[in-house]
Chain A
Amino acid sequence: MIAIDGLRVRFGPNEVVHGISLDVPRGSSFGLVGESGSGKSTILRAFSGLNPDWTGKMRLDNVPLDRKRDRAFFRRVQMVFQDPYGSLHPRQTVDRALSEPLIVHGLQDRDARIAQALSDVALPNSVRFRYPHQLSGGQRQRVAIARALMAEPNVLLLDEPTSALDVSVQAEVLNLLRDLQQRRGLTYLLVSHNLAVVAHLCPIIGVMQGGDLVETLSTDDLRAGRVHHSHTAQLRALTVELEDGGEAAARASA
């Protein structure tokens, strides 16, 4: 569904992504992990058409992508950003936010579609005429996901979708993303610095460091510790250390 080959992205004189390649089959998910500044979000933005200064090949469903994207592209590919506080217009109601994609793409049945979208993301109909500040963080992120789904895309680009949320809310949003994928056959490209979140949603994971994709491995290999690159091992060790907490430390010293 998504094929990226030798992608390089520049900001002015600096090249920040140094030729990365990845493939995401239809209905699957690919997770990108790495530290801030490693270029993971830049890849997402270049694919979505937000960063124009790139070279290499990108394909959506076997169709090569141009610098300029047509309207059909934006119907098929949608993005969800990290911070629902920043990505929703503070003076527009949920109804307005969800109507916008329908107007842009000339879709009919607005009432029915909005009601359906709200129920898809498990929000009550009562939030429809509320403003973002009247919603909790988790509800706002659901609205952002509902908005991305309005145009019935095939691909969702998720940029740290749960990093701004409490862990209890994160669990709900992760479950929702998984349900939606199964129900609608969506393809996900997910960016996060949280290894456990990426592993939960994606069967394949790419590890970024300093603009290079240093390792691509299956989640099973990552969980089992069958890693090759030192950076992957380092990220994994940090996560495992915190998860096992004192137990692991006690075992190591014993």
Chain B
Amino acid sequence: MNVLDIRGLTKKFGDFVAVDNMSLTVREGEIFGFLGANGAGKSTTINVVSSLLRPSSGEIRILDKDIMKQSRFAKMNLGIVPQDLAIYEDMTAYENVSFFAGLYGLRGIKLKERTIEALDFVGLGDKAKSFPKNFSGGMKRRLNIACAIAHKPKLIIMDEPTVGIDPQSRNYILTSVRKLNESGCTIIYTSHYMEEVEEICSRIAIVDHGKIIAEGTKEQLKSTITDVKDIRIELKSVQGGVVEKLRSIPGVRNVSQEDHVIRIHSDAAVDNLNRMLKQLIDAGMEIRSVEEQEPNLETVFLTLTGRNLRD
């Protein structure tokens, strides 16, 4: 069963087309990765699905119901974890979750139970009476999630829920996402951290210039990149200007450097590894290891969009 069905969605802001005739399907039980660089149309799509923006054209169905015609049904089954925190700092954690859950028609004992359940789920059960202004960034992010799940939606959209938090909270959130999914929630997950998406998402769509340019499982996406090789060279030290020299080698598409490691994306058909190594040796650099890697999601994204995810 399709939990979300987007057909021919277009959203324009004046003459600017933010989402261009997009079609997308998210099936029940998936953790669906939605990837795109800044300005690709990802957030606009999420905002239209959440009824924050009106579509210029197209149709969106949640659990087979048109969100424009049966908006209450759609909203009752949707939970959003916005990228920016959406909590009241001057209300306790309990009051925050209880207030938002109350807007979904929960009352009395049921409201109390669901509120406590949601707080326990994100590990804030013992902080129910505390004010978020005294919370760490990670705790606030977890409360942000609790506010979106107390009414037990079928579909949860998480827009970069781990941005700017410590690794411990990040792991906690990723575990929570998996647990939510296991409990029957379908999740749409966006992140700038490719490794997160690779780790938890069962299917992924890459959006660029308002269009879905690739969609499938991690394996399916990686298999589309047969014409690119991903070379990883570890050096003792890296001298300035070497990245530019490597880029000038025929077949090289992209070169990036992180500490002593240089990563090169190059056309698979061009045999240019010798020239790369010669360039480094001529520049007086000591090579520690050379490795040709399987393309990962980052390679796929870079190859398809020509941009890094964090651009």
Query: Does A associate with B in a complex?
Result: no
